[in-house]
Chain A
């Protein structure tokens, strides 16, 4: 039930103003919003996130000749999602756990906001870093509320503050307040996952580590949780290290993706678009798959590309005007719309034989594509219809342009640098609503 609710990130901003004030921290860092995001409303809370830097971080397990992670260097800017991806056993989990010192590095260093994690007491460091693993990570003997409250309790918050924080977090992840009293065994997989996220966020950590957080969820719910998480991230803008073995998930979630290969060697560190367009080695090319051009289609939404201009006409309009509009349009068939601007169908020649436009339809207006659809889904819609083009509508169903195969293939030739990252996309959609 609750799963079909959107994250509150979609439901207006005011509620979030106070959420992250709960844990005041000495160093509040300002995070610059990506260029493509709409100017954030002034009232938005100043998010806190840390910069994470790995410098030749190396882990050699005792008794093993080969390193599990070998000289890993990468920087995750504050507020970004860095996905560690690679085949099983390539050292993703090891790399992630070196950050919160669950695994001690053998060589190199890891800096959190320019401070070496090796200078921090492990337990104290970990309380400042959100940690989420597969759904099994919830404590079965604690209620949902108590699960969420674990770290705040460790930090010695008083009861009222903890209670208030738990309520806020459950709301933030779209769970009923009543869920707090239930035990994990009484929740669905998706609900458990949300509690896991809420718990990782409990003390408002500037960094979150997530090890295959959606790994145990069925594909349909995983997709939804991924979308919700991206929207939530657009809101909270944490620095996140996200581990997965699934390249599609990596492409979807990552602002930057670090592909690791056997032995913990960094094969490539790049944005999803760069990775798909310019794989640095045969290994990367192989790992991202031979359908990488198609995968790029998942990176962009219909609203991100140049659409065709249609001659939008209403019944009763002078035919002369329509002919003028057609000269301007990219398509020589007028698109008939209703009074609200919603597409009715493609106008046939006979509809323009008189003085004024008559409702004489040549073909229905499907497929109808939405501005928020990702290009892959839009392409699929086009392939499934006869016309190879279709009207694009906005959230209110009004025509915003026409998507055609030509427009799509043109979009594929855009350089990677111009393709926004997932969290920029989420921020953009979020801001529009």
Chain B
């Protein structure tokens, strides 16, 4: 983690009350080095609205990222020459540090939820794109061959054979994207989009606060991953068919 000071230009654009009143809460919980279960229990409702923001900051980029990455991967699957270029772009996006990304975008799209969503969506792309592409590539040649021989058109082969068979790999990518997005969404406050990250940075030295927000983030990541897993299972019943 870079020292907070190096974010100075970004912080300059944040609300005056960015750190909020949470700082003062340290005083309400002086014992145990700032970590009081009692305080967390009493104040948990303060975290519900940031949690909800965080949920949106995770799900919306995931859905958008899935749509964009899948579209790109399908295009690359159809027109092979696009593949290398797409992969280079989505990989490059992933390597831009959050803070730099926000700094660039703040001047273009301004502060707010939309900017955060753009950044977070961009980060999901490489994870989902790579898995969709790998999944499609790993469909055995014979499957496509036999589908063609039975008279399926290219589009039918894609939607009835290749995509379904790629689903396990695609979902694996989505699961990684889900937990990583929950994490990266912790920086959405740079765009003024709130979320649990904002709570952490509001009082980074107050351990009760940090623990409460972090635990909620971990829970959210776990729940999202399990949700994706549940969807995956219902979409891929053959994966559970045991050979006899």
Contact = CB atoms under 8 A, between A and B. Distances in A.
A186 B147 CA distance: 21
B165 interface: yes
A102 interface: yes
Interface in A145-203: 150-151, 154, 182-183, 185-187, 199
A209 B150 contact: no
Contact of A123 (B142, B152, B238): B152
A328 interface: no
A140 interface: yes
A126 B165 contact: no
A143 B237 CA distance: 10
A124 B151 contact: yes
A387 to B, nearest CB: 47
Interface of B: 140, 142-143, 145-153, 156, 161, 164-165, 167, 236-238, 241-244
A139 B244 CA distance: 17
Contact of B243 (A102, A139, A185): A185
Contacts of A33: none
A340 interface: no
24 contacts: A100-B149, A102-B145, A102-B148, A125-B151, A126-B148, A126-B150, A133-B142, A133-B145, A136-B143, A137-B143, A137-B146, A139-B161, A140-B165, A141-B167, A141-B238, A150-B152, A154-B151, A154-B156, A183-B238, A183-B241, A185-B238, A185-B241, A185-B243, A187-B244
Interface of A: 97, 100, 102, 122-128, 131, 133-134, 136-137, 139-143, 150-151, 154, 182-183, 185-187, 199, 209
Contact of A186 (B143, B145, B244): B244
Contacts, number: 69
A102 B149 contact: yes
A354 B142 CA distance: 75
Contact of A133 (B149, B152, B236, B243): B149
B76 to A, nearest CB: 22
Contacts of B237: 183
A126 B145 CA distance: 12
Given A185-B243, A186-B243, A186-B244, A141 B236 contact: yes
A118 B242 CA distance: 44
Contact of B149 (A126, A136, A143, A154): A126
Nearest to B140: A136
Contacts of A100: 149
A201 to B, nearest CB: 12
Contacts of A128: 151
Nearest to B153: A123
A186 B146 contact: no
Given A136-B140, A139-B143, A186 B241 contact: yes
Nearest to B165: A141
A127 B150 contact: yes
A185 B149 CA distance: 22
A123 B151 contact: yes
Given A183-B237, A185-B243, 10 more contacts: A122-B151, A123-B153, A126-B150, A131-B146, A133-B145, A133-B149, A137-B142, A140-B165, A141-B167, A141-B238
Nearest to B163: A141
A183 B148 CA distance: 21
Contacts of A143: 238
Contacts of A136: 140, 142-143
